[in-house]
Amino acid sequence: MRFHTFSSFFGKAVTATVAVGGFLLFAAVAPAKANAWDDCNRRIAYTEWRYHEAREHSGPYSSAARHWAHEHHEALERCARYERDHHGDWDRR
């Protein structure tokens, strides 16, 4: 009788572990893809805002304005690369 109790408990524990693991696996995959594009747009907006703030406070030719212009340009390139790689023409692959 003891073996039956142990195997019943063990079977329930394994089933629960597999169910929770599967749920966590599939729940974590979808938002990661959806957030990538939002993060990209958020980074562009942030660098653009910082660039305009630097121009207002330090002038258009200051080192801060040049820095944020460069960061903004990199953010635009990064998003263009992301869009090309993930949403581009699938026939060319």
Dihedral of alpha carbons 9, 10, 15, 21, sign:
positive
Output Rg (C-alpha) for the chain, integer angstroms: 25
Q: pLDDT tens-digit profile of 17-72?
A: 877 776 666 665 555 555 777 888 999 999 999 999 999 999 999 999 999 999 99
pTM for the complete prediction?
0.58
- Cα–Cα distance measured from residue 72 to residue 78, given in angstroms and rounded to the nearest whole number: 10
